[in-house]
Structure 1
Amino acid sequence: MPGLSAPGVSLETQIVAGLRAASLLARGREEGLRFALLSMEGAARSFWAGVFCLLPFLLVRALGTGAFLSGTLPIELIGYVLGWVVFPLASLSLAEASGRGPLWPLFVAAWNWTNLVQYGALLAATLLGGLLPPGFGGSLILAAFGYALWMEWFVAKSALRISGIRAALFVLLDMAIGLFIASVVTRLSAG
């Protein structure tokens, strides 16, 4: 879809392109990057993926922690929003330090859209895991989490055109931020 990064492309067109990017990248196909937009507008619009991921997030949290029943939903939502904002901002510094700053909008757009697949995989594993014996269910959730990590590594490596080791630094940064936010949410929820 040439010209997707041009100003004035409709949001609907960019959402469809983002979904196509996610589908291809989820299968390890770098050509999905053609559908993620190399522009600040494309990166900004890719945050619509966060809106689409909200329902799977809420379902996973409710099934795992009972967030709907415990009254911690507002805190969970704040953590959710922070997860979508803090990592992209922190990754900009890492991308610039790697000499890949100009490719950062492409990375963020691809990262955002592939989150749809990651949340879908985690939701499916959580739902199926609840039907299976505990050992199998836990293994299924662990496999979905491993797949999500691989996908983020693949997106960082492909979009930023960096080595696998450097891509792993982006994954580690995201994990560290996610664990920090989760610990804060847990402390506030217990509080």
Structure 2
Amino acid sequence: MALPSKPEIAAGLVGALMLAKLDRGGIGLFDDTVSGFWKSFFAAVLLAPFSALLLWVVHYSRAPEGTDLGAIAVIELVGYAGAWLVWPVAAFELTRLAGVQDRCRRYIVACNWSEVWIMALQLPVAVIFASGALGDDGKALIYMVMLMAILSYRFVIARDVLEIPPVAAAGFAFADLMVAVIWQLLVDAPIQPYLAASGAGA
């Protein structure tokens, strides 16, 4: 896979940011050629260190001594790579059923670059949570606001990029969330024995 140039990365990020601002002009910045489609997965490379930091802050920074973090890291790495593939595969079938498969490539390009801005929202929230500055009620409120913001963003991407009615776009956004949740449960399953063995899963 050819790596995207800096202008190509910038175009993808600006396009995704414009959609977040409800500016449909951002769609024109996405490279939805076959090459552009594969290049958009470079967002996974850009986000890898931040995703690792997010996992550390949220899950493993206070893991008990003796936790096999090496084995967990391998599982998380495989899960991270798979997470970038599972939704495109599901979306390919969903767009086929919706009769908009010709726009699927452009949609995945938009989704991939949008992950950068979603991480820009998630990471500071995770740091605030880890700081202990908020109580459970405060955390629950902020988490719900963040979740709704992400769902709204994915709704806008589906509606504007796929050019589908709002109800269908909401279905895509919800399906996106459900696929992510199910995938995370599948990734967490082989990790739990390592946490339980060290007492972290108790």
Paired residue for 2:145? 143
**What is the CA distance between 1:133 and its match in structure 2?**
1.6
- Structure 2 letter corresponding to 1:138: A
User: 1:13-34 CA distances to partner (integer Å, 9 max, x unpaired)?
Assistant: 2111011112212222211111
- Of 25, 44, 52, which residue of structure 2 is paired with 1:58? 52
Paired residue for 1:133? 134
**What is the CA distance between 1:111 and its match in structure 2?**
0.5
Measured in 1, the distance between the counterparts of 2:62 and 2:37 equals 31
How do residues 1-191 of structure 1 correspond to structure 2 at under 5 angstroms?
11-66=5-60, 70=67, 71=69, 72-131=72-131, 132-134=133-135, 135-191=137-193
Q: Which residues of structure 1 form unaligned runs of 5+?
A: 1-7
Contact 2:47/2:116, CA 8 A, preserved across alignment: yes
RCO greater where, 1 or 2, for CA within 8 Å and sep 6 or more?
A: 2
Rg larger for: 2
Contact 2:4/2:42, CA 8 A, preserved across alignment: no
**What is the CA distance between 1:89 and its match in structure 2?**
1.2
**What is the CA distance between 1:173 and its match in structure 2?**
2.1
**TM-score calculated relative to the size of structure 1:** 0.88
**What is the CA distance between 1:126 and its match in structure 2?**
1.2
- Structure 2 letter corresponding to 1:133: L
**What is the CA distance between 1:156 and its match in structure 2?**
0.7
Distance 1:67 1:176, change over 3 A: farther
Measured in 2, the distance between the counterparts of 1:11 and 1:68 equals 39
Contact 2:86/2:179, CA 8 A, preserved across alignment: yes
**What is the CA distance between 1:120 and its match in structure 2?**
1.0
**What is the CA distance between 1:67 and its match in structure 2?**
7.0
Contact 1:43/1:108, CA 8 A, preserved across alignment: yes
The alignment's C-alpha RMSD in Å is: 2.0
User: 1:39-84 CA distances to partner (integer Å, 9 max, x unpaired)?
Assistant: 2221111111111121221122111111795411111111111111
Contact 2:151/2:174, CA 8 A, preserved across alignment: no
- For this pair of structures, how many residues does the alignment match? 184
Measured in 2, the distance between the counterparts of 1:19 and 1:34 equals 12
Local SS of the residue matching 1:116 = helix
Measured in 2, the distance between the counterparts of 1:145 and 1:57 equals 17
**What is the CA distance between 1:188 and its match in structure 2?**
0.2
**TM-score calculated relative to the size of structure 2:** 0.83
Measured in 2, the distance between the counterparts of 1:58 and 1:153 equals 26
Local SS of the residue matching 1:65 = helix
- Structure 2 letter corresponding to 1:190: Q
